[in-house]
Amino acid sequence: MEKIVNYLVGERNQKPKVAEKVVASFEQHDDIRAELEKWIEQRNYQHDNPIVVEGYTAEAISKLATFMDGVGVYNFLVTLRERPENGKRIIVEGFKRK
């Protein structure tokens, strides 16, 4: 999780407390966290056996929501896993932003 916090604080200029809250969403999802950490290292989405949640990979989400960076994309995979109906509604609505 330290790698994610370092990315958020060092590259995204997040405050450490905000970064810790973001990281907390990955605590119950080691597979998603691990793939996000690979994204931070390589800056590309996993192509070999990527995580699929409700039919979507991180790369697919990144193409649907081009405004998201890797953390946002993987955080959305958590949303799809924990609240699939909400996540699918957001996709259908085109990731409307307020």
Write down the pLDDT at residue 98.
64
Tokens of 14: 């997040």
Task: Kindly list the domain boundaries of the chain, sorted by start residue.
Answer: 2-92
Given a contact cutoff of 8 angstroms between Cβ atoms, the answer to whether 48 and 35 are in contact is no
* H helices present in the chain, as ranges: 2-10, 16-24, 30-42, 58-64, 70-82, 84-92
Write down the pLDDT at residue 96.
84
Q: Which stretches of the chain drop beneath a pLDDT of 70?
A: 98
